[in-house]
Chain A
Amino acid sequence: MAAHRSVRDFDWGLLIVALTICAMGVLQIFSATHDTPWRDAWWKQIVWVFAGFVLMWIATTIDYHTLLSQVPVFYVLSVVTLLATFVVGEKVFGSRRWIGRGSLHLQVSEFVKLVLVLLVARFLTGLKKERPDASDLLKLGGLVGLPMMLVMAQPDLGTALTYLPILAIGVFLSGLRWQYAAAIVLTLAMVMPVGWLLLKDYQKARLVSFIDPAQDPKGSGYQVIQSKIAVGSGGMWGRGVTHGSQTQLRFLPVAHTDFIFSAFSEEHGFVGVIVVLGLYFLLLMQIVQNAQTAPDKAGMYICMGVAALLLFHVLVNIGMVVGKMPVTGIPLPLMSSGGSNVLSVFLMLGLVNNIRLRRFVN
């Protein structure tokens, strides 16, 4: 198989778009942190991008069928590691998500996404019928639900929610009966009030402040208000790199991680926003195109899982920046400062390339 692979077939367009987004991210990380204690975050980010690039290459070379065959191992490993974070994980901002030592912290839940993408693909292609029935859906829901619960308990609602689009796109593509769809929607509607009770106070506060930011202008609402001020004051052309007052004077919370796009909007304006949103759109369409040309069902599921996941990230993160989504604390793929997300996104892009390279050589 390997003999048929060619560097020419690699999705260079996808890579160029991804790296351009990363470059924008690094620039913005520099601008947002150059006179803060995190001033070396920008070159760390470059290191992560390189590491991600290498991982992507590795993920490309191992046939995705081989990876699919190892899903049970990955899955058990994921669950065990997630459990382990409760014991050995480091508590950051009140949540146990990170595992590792010294300067190398990895957020396990980020990598579980990959496992779930593969798991959904394997599960749905393994069915010996035309479309999944209710028991299949329950099984799949349970398999995705377990790690999701564990991540929620960390507590990290945002990342846990990112597992949903992986499941949803798979079920959608597999040909869901409308009765099942209705049942799922109904169940969710009934679970929501219960879920409200299970939410932590700060999570409730975030939802409340999403609906009415002015109600709590110093708490969660503060972040939304400051973010909107940052975006709005950017205007058409932006205030220039390192010249956005909201970013530079630190009115904007976590301007190099979750709210990086807010900082970017302030300093690059509407024009910059259109350019980067365009790049994300190209990225997604390129992944979808790879799904359309995938050699088999499994490959299609994997590509679409990645696309759905990234779309969800973009929607929730950028929606939050303009006050159209609640504050959930999930990063913007490829732009937000932070290793785990960069590595996991590059691994996903590796999977997509993996499938692309095998479209003629099954």
Chain B
Amino acid sequence: MNVSTEREPDQQTPAKLRDDAKFAAGKIAFFQYLTVAIFLFLVAGFWDLQVRNPAFYSELAEQNSIRSIPVLAPRGKILDRDGRVIVDNHASFSVYLSRENLKWEHLKAIADGLNLDYNDLLQKIHRFDGQPQYVPVIIKEELTPEDLAFVEAHRDPREFPELGLIQAERRLYPKDGFAAHVVGYVGEVSDAELDNPDFLKYHPGDVIGKAGLERQYNDSLMGVDGQKRVMVDSMGHEVGQPISDKEATPGTALQTTLDLDLQSVAELGLGDRPGAVVALDPRSGEILAMVSHPSYDPNLFTGRLTNKDWQDLVNNPLHPLLDRAIQAQLAPGSTFKPIMALAGLQEGVINDDFKVHCSGGASFYGHWYACWRKHGHGTIGVHQAIQQSCDVFFYTVGNKLGIDRIAKYAELAGFGHKTGVDLPQEAAGTMPSTAWKWRNFRQKWFAGETISVAIGQGAVTVTPLQLASAIGGIAAGGIWETPHLVRDAKVPAARRGDVNLENVSKVIDGMYAVVNEPGGTGGLARIPGNSVCGKTGSAQLASNKLLKGTKLGQTMKDTAWFVGFAPRESPEIVVVAMIQYAVHGSYSAPVVRDVIKAYFDKKARQGRPVADLVDYMKGRPVQPIIQQPEKIDLATEGDR
């Protein structure tokens, strides 16, 4: 500044102003120190983040931008014995919510756009509260084209950044509940299940088999999910190529012993009547058809099942979710009589010469037990007793045998315990005995109770599968193969009874007469040129007398049974049809007849046994042979 004053001597400014810039020199120096301090403060901030903790923040940056996306393994298909597809997969889209980007105020609009119930949606999202934020919530599966359009139009980062789409293979079940119970359905593993040690291997969100074959063979059907690691931007959109990609291992296809043709015939034969049909090969135990009506649509369970649909299913008085083939435990009625006959013959209580006079009823232990035919059957032996289903004859046999000898043969035939079929939640039925009564009621058995059991009433109950297996085993000569749906299923080995084959053939002769001889109760099951054997049964849920004049309606009506097998010598197929709330056993006979006929028709066409078709037909389409069931002829009503 001195220089400047010298250069500009003419400038007449007071000295005070000349020194202007100097007067604050100390304060400017202070400002400089302040600046240095501030810069050091800032550098310290960067030092702390970039030099001391870069790894920590790099990891956070990676967590931000790298997402693991599951690659869902498609489930294995379920095939019939000829390799035809029963349960398939189809590609479908699911929409998920990324909770990291979730704006709660969007939910209402999203629920409306996707036709979801707002409260259901809220509930669903809150179920994930315990999970890390990056776990997405799948809010709707099986998107319709309208849903897809909605998501595509609105998942813009500025509108609903929380929406995302993933593609998944979904289960495609046959329409109209075809084979629904045996096949089962899949669903997301529930929280309750995850608490169960058996479900430890599953993760939340896994889709697992919940019923039927889907559940039984879940491990092989499910496959192993893969994983994809991708870069995502702050909106959750994938960027570039995946960083790593672990392919999913698809589930293994499950070939069952079911025959789609026979299954179709059985489904159609039962129609919309509540009941069940089971067809199996008594030589191997392979189940050929298994039907339970009323049915439900398993496709509902793969995503679109609303609370209301579920409530409807659960509260339906006909219990569509019940698999009647293995879970309905009902009195077998007269279908029990072949077992009674075998027991009597085996134990020597009766023989060919043994006759009973039926006058329409008989008195035991001071009670009058009526025969179904009021005017009686006259004097008859075992052959006619089976053929005409004479109650008095079997009362007498039962009384002679006593409950424990009856139970011995019934249990040998499979009554009172599970068959061991490869399906979950099979029911065991009941076979009473003195031990059974003591175990359950701490009471001794009264001989009078045996009389009702002798005609398949009283405490004895069976499932349709048990009955098919029991009669099939007798027909096969006293070898009870465990029924199963997959050829190499891990099921218990066959049970062998020390049964005299002559006695067996006497029982079979009686059953042949039921269908083929005049006066038999099962004439409706007759197939010309085929030696079908069978037995009718109508089990009472309550006395018909009691029923009259009440409003109990169909819940108290009889159960109509028919069990049939063919051919008479070395049977290949045994079929049980059970129709609830019907009038008489003959009601079920045509269903059994149609399934047996379909079996032999098919066999005749191929010119080889059904068991060999698997290899022959692999990969080739087979047209199902569907037979319309004949009209039910109720002319024989009143027979038993």
Q: Is the CB of B234 within 8 A of A251?
A: yes
Per the 8 Å Cβ criterion, residues 330-362 of A in contact with B are 359-362
Contact of B57 (CB < 8 Å), options: A229, A270, A300: A229
Per the 8 Å Cβ criterion, residues 306-329 of A in contact with B are 307-308, 311, 314-315, 318-319, 322-324
Please give, as numbers and ranges, the residues of chain A lying within 8 Å of B21 by CB-CB distance.
Answer: 291-297, 299-300
Q: Is the CB of A360 within 8 A of B57?
A: no
Q: In the complex, what residue of chain A is closest to B103 when comparing beta carbons?
A: A218
Contact of A249 (CB < 8 Å), options: B39, B46, B231: B231
Most B C-beta atoms less than 10 A away, residue of A175, A233, A235, A281? A233
Q: Closest CB of chain B to A330's CB: distance in Å?
A: 15
Q: Is the CB of B54 within 8 A of A233?
A: yes
Q: Closest CB of chain B to A234's CB: distance in Å?
A: 6
Q: Is the CB of B24 within 8 A of A173?
A: yes
User: Whole-angstrom distance between the alpha carbons of A270 and B1 in the complex?
Assistant: 41
The answer, yes or no, to whether B11 is at the interface (CB within 8 Å) is yes
User: Whole-angstrom distance between the alpha carbons of A296 and B14 in the complex?
Assistant: 12
Q: Closest CB of chain A to B203's CB: distance in Å?
A: 26
Please give, as numbers and ranges, the residues of chain B lying within 8 Å of A249 by CB-CB distance.
Answer: 64-65, 231-234, 239
Q: Is the CB of B35 within 8 A of A281?
A: yes
How many A-B pairs with Cβ below 8 Å? 155
The answer, yes or no, to whether B491 is at the interface (CB within 8 Å) is no
The answer, yes or no, to whether B58 is at the interface (CB within 8 Å) is yes
The answer, yes or no, to whether A242 is at the interface (CB within 8 Å) is no
Q: Closest CB of chain B to A59's CB: distance in Å?
A: 20
Please give, as numbers and ranges, the residues of chain B lying within 8 Å of A270 by CB-CB distance.
Answer: 46-47, 50-51
Q: In the complex, what residue of chain A is closest to B65 when comparing beta carbons?
A: A245
The answer to whether A229 and B31 touch (CB under 8 A), given A249-B232, A251-B234, A299-B21, is: no
The answer, yes or no, to whether A162 is at the interface (CB within 8 Å) is no
The answer, yes or no, to whether A149 is at the interface (CB within 8 Å) is no
Per the 8 Å Cβ criterion, residues 137-184 of A in contact with B are 169, 172-173, 175
Q: Is the CB of B11 within 8 A of A362?
A: yes
Q: Is the CB of B233 within 8 A of A250?
A: yes
Please give, as numbers and ranges, the residues of chain B lying within 8 Å of A175 by CB-CB distance.
Answer: 24
Q: Closest CB of chain A to B37's CB: distance in Å?
A: 10
Q: Is the CB of A229 within 8 A of B60?
A: yes
The answer to whether A251 and B4 touch (CB under 8 A), given A284-B35, A288-B31, A318-B42, is: no
Please give, as numbers and ranges, the residues of chain B lying within 8 Å of A297 by CB-CB distance.
Answer: 17, 20-21, 23
Q: In the complex, what residue of chain B is closest to A238 when comparing beta carbons?
A: B50
User: Whole-angstrom distance between the alpha carbons of A249 and B43 in the complex?
Assistant: 26
Q: Is the CB of A229 within 8 A of B46?
A: no
Contact of B54 (CB < 8 Å), options: A234, A246, A307, A362: A234
Q: Closest CB of chain B to A263's CB: distance in Å?
A: 13
Please give, as numbers and ranges, the residues of chain A lying within 8 Å of B20 by CB-CB distance.
Answer: 294-297, 300
The answer, yes or no, to whether A114 is at the interface (CB within 8 Å) is no
The answer, yes or no, to whether A285 is at the interface (CB within 8 Å) is yes
Q: Closest CB of chain B to A244's CB: distance in Å?
A: 8
Q: Closest CB of chain A to B132's CB: distance in Å?
A: 14
Please give, as numbers and ranges, the residues of chain B lying within 8 Å of A231 by CB-CB distance.
Answer: 46, 49-50, 57
Contact of B50 (CB < 8 Å), options: A232, A245, A308: A232
- Per-residue interface assignment for chain B, residues 61 to 80, with 1 indicating a CB less than 8 Å from any chain A CB and 0 otherwise: 11011000000000000000
**Number of B residues, CB within 8 Å of A:** 47
Please give, as numbers and ranges, the residues of chain A lying within 8 Å of B54 by CB-CB distance.
Answer: 232-236
Per the 8 Å Cβ criterion, residues 1-26 of B in contact with A are 1, 4, 7-8, 11, 13, 17, 20-21, 23-25
Q: Is the CB of A245 within 8 A of B31?
A: no
Please give, as numbers and ranges, the residues of chain B lying within 8 Å of A319 by CB-CB distance.
Answer: 41-42, 45
Q: In the complex, what residue of chain A is closest to B45 when comparing beta carbons?
A: A322
Q: Closest CB of chain B to A174's CB: distance in Å?
A: 8
User: Whole-angstrom distance between the alpha carbons of A277 and B54 in the complex?
Assistant: 19
User: Whole-angstrom distance between the alpha carbons of A231 and B52 in the complex?
Assistant: 12
Q: Is the CB of B11 within 8 A of A285?
A: no
The answer, yes or no, to whether B32 is at the interface (CB within 8 Å) is yes
The answer, yes or no, to whether A209 is at the interface (CB within 8 Å) is no
Contact of B65 (CB < 8 Å), options: A251, A281, A299, A304: A251
Q: Is the CB of A315 within 8 A of B28?
A: no
Please give, as numbers and ranges, the residues of chain B lying within 8 Å of A62 by CB-CB distance.
Answer: none
The answer, yes or no, to whether A265 is at the interface (CB within 8 Å) is yes
User: Whole-angstrom distance between the alpha carbons of A286 and B219 in the complex?
Assistant: 75
Q: In the complex, what residue of chain A is closest to B19 when comparing beta carbons?
A: A297
The answer, yes or no, to whether B235 is at the interface (CB within 8 Å) is yes
Please give, as numbers and ranges, the residues of chain A lying within 8 Å of B51 by CB-CB distance.
Answer: 235-236, 270
User: Whole-angstrom distance between the alpha carbons of A265 and B27 in the complex?
Assistant: 33
- Per-residue interface assignment for chain B, residues 490 to 534, with 1 indicating a CB less than 8 Å from any chain A CB and 0 otherwise: 000000000000000000000000000000000000000000000
Q: Is the CB of A250 within 8 A of B43?
A: no
Q: Is the CB of B49 within 8 A of A322?
A: yes
Q: In the complex, what residue of chain A is closest to B27 when comparing beta carbons?
A: A173
Per the 8 Å Cβ criterion, residues 243-286 of A in contact with B are 245-246, 248-251, 265, 269-270, 273-274, 277, 280-281, 284-285
Q: Is the CB of B35 within 8 A of A311?
A: yes
Q: Is the CB of A322 within 8 A of B64?
A: no
Per the 8 Å Cβ criterion, residues 222-243 of A in contact with B are 226, 228-236
Q: Is the CB of A265 within 8 A of B32?
A: no
Q: In the complex, what residue of chain A is closest to B1 when comparing beta carbons?
A: A293
User: Whole-angstrom distance between the alpha carbons of A146 and B321 in the complex?
Assistant: 78
Q: Is the CB of B38 within 8 A of A288?
A: no
Please give, as numbers and ranges, the residues of chain B lying within 8 Å of A172 by CB-CB distance.
Answer: 27
Q: In the complex, what residue of chain A is closest to B53 when comparing beta carbons?
A: A232
Please give, as numbers and ranges, the residues of chain B lying within 8 Å of A235 by CB-CB distance.
Answer: 50-51, 54, 58
The answer, yes or no, to whether B56 is at the interface (CB within 8 Å) is yes
Q: Closest CB of chain A to B429's CB: distance in Å?
A: 60
Please give, as numbers and ranges, the residues of chain A lying within 8 Å of B28 by CB-CB distance.
Answer: 173, 288, 291-292, 300, 304
Please give, as numbers and ranges, the residues of chain A lying within 8 Å of B41 by CB-CB distance.
Answer: 315, 319, 324
Q: In the complex, what residue of chain B is closest to A271 when comparing beta carbons?
A: B50
User: Whole-angstrom distance between the alpha carbons of A80 and B13 in the complex?
Assistant: 37
User: Whole-angstrom distance between the alpha carbons of A299 and B239 in the complex?
Assistant: 54
Please give, as numbers and ranges, the residues of chain A lying within 8 Å of B39 by CB-CB distance.
Answer: 277, 280-281
Please give, as numbers and ranges, the residues of chain B lying within 8 Å of A311 by CB-CB distance.
Answer: 34-35, 38
Q: Is the CB of B61 within 8 A of A230?
A: yes
Contact of B49 (CB < 8 Å), options: A228, A281, A288, A360: A228
User: Whole-angstrom distance between the alpha carbons of A269 and B49 in the complex?
Assistant: 10
Q: Closest CB of chain B to A356's CB: distance in Å?
A: 12
Please give, as numbers and ranges, the residues of chain A lying within 8 Å of B38 by CB-CB distance.
Answer: 311, 314-315
Contact of A324 (CB < 8 Å), options: B34, B45, B50, B57: B45
Q: In the complex, what residue of chain B is closest to A359 when comparing beta carbons?
A: B4
User: Whole-angstrom distance between the alpha carbons of A234 and B61 in the complex?
Assistant: 10
Q: Closest CB of chain A to B89's CB: distance in Å?
A: 34
Contact of B7 (CB < 8 Å), options: A233, A236, A315, A360: A360
Q: Is the CB of A292 within 8 A of B25?
A: yes
Please give, as numbers and ranges, the residues of chain A lying within 8 Å of B56 by CB-CB distance.
Answer: 232
Q: Is the CB of B64 within 8 A of A229?
A: yes
Q: Is the CB of A315 within 8 A of B60?
A: no
User: Whole-angstrom distance between the alpha carbons of A293 and B195 in the complex?
Assistant: 80
Q: Is the CB of B46 within 8 A of A322?
A: yes
Contact of A236 (CB < 8 Å), options: B11, B43, B45, B50: B50
User: Whole-angstrom distance between the alpha carbons of A324 and B39 in the complex?
Assistant: 13
User: Whole-angstrom distance between the alpha carbons of A226 and B27 in the complex?
Assistant: 39
List 19 extra interface pairs beyond A245-B65, A296-B21, CB under 8 A: A172-B27, A173-B27, A229-B57, A229-B64, A232-B54, A233-B54, A233-B61, A235-B51, A235-B54, A246-B64, A249-B65, A250-B234, A270-B50, A273-B43, A273-B46, A277-B43, A277-B46, A315-B42, A360-B4
Q: List 27 A-B contacts (CB under 8 A).
A: A226-B64, A229-B57, A232-B58, A233-B54, A236-B51, A245-B61, A245-B65, A245-B231, A246-B65, A249-B234, A250-B235, A251-B61, A251-B64, A273-B43, A277-B42, A277-B46, A291-B28, A295-B21, A296-B21, A300-B20, A300-B24, A307-B31, A315-B41, A315-B42, A323-B45, A324-B41, A362-B4
The residues of A with any CB-CB pair to B shorter than 8 Å are: 169, 172-173, 175, 226, 228-236, 245-246, 248-251, 265, 269-270, 273-274, 277, 280-281, 284-285, 288, 291-297, 299-300, 304, 307-308, 311, 314-315, 318-319, 322-324, 359-362
What are the 3 closest A-B residue pairs judged by CB atoms, nearest first?
A: A232-B57, A322-B45, A235-B54
